[in-house]
Structure 1
Amino acid sequence: MKQVHEPGIATDPNNPARYGDHVPDTDPVDQPADEPHLDEVLDAEVVSADEVHPGTPTVDVTAGPVATPPMDTGYTAAGVPTFDSVREKIEGRFGTAMGAAELAAETPEGRSADEQYEARQKAAADRLAQIRASMKSADDS
């Protein structure tokens, strides 16, 4: 099936119900929301602006903006990493490596590799003992 791409026409053959329909130029998100119907009843209490309820905290609007402490980005103003950020990164990587090693040792493949390593170490120690014994007997002769 050949698709013809015309601006404003939907060309998705997987959506047969809408195939060939015109596509609006604006997204539905960009369109203004419908106004609420006047028939709807809104349940709200009308309160005058002068009325203050007891226990309601008051806000001092004359105070200036509150200075927030600068967020620690891990870098100095010159772009150099701080000691703490480098240490945290190293500790994180070390922890990840240790966790990966522990998880790998728990798998059947990991246990098999450990057993093979131990068997090779034992075979190497036995062979070394044989070589030493043969050298000792050669020296005795």
Structure 2
Amino acid sequence: MSTSQGDDDPTVVDAEIVASPTPAVELPAAQYSESGVPSFDYVRERIENRAATATGSTELAGIGGTGPDVKSLDEQLAEREEAGRARLAEIRRAMGKD
């Protein structure tokens, strides 16, 4: 009876090489140098993300709207500062400092 050489050996594994189904992934550029300094692109991306988050938060809070019933943020801040100045002047008058 004719048998192949690996049929009787339990350490031999019958297998075939199959090509990887996923293409090679391009790795992003290093975010930090060897000395620990972040790259310009990394810093720029972080700043842009924070600015976008702040803008989105403002819009969601309703203070960034453009409708006729929504005051602009500058008007709200000016009113708050004027009220603070008026209250401070009132306190000074009450204390006899003015």
User: What is the TM-score with the length of structure 2 in the denominator?
Assistant: 0.40
Higher relative contact order (CA 8 A, sep 6+): 2
User: What is the TM-score with the length of structure 1 in the denominator?
Assistant: 0.30
Higher Cα Rg, which structure: 1
Greater percentage in helix: 2
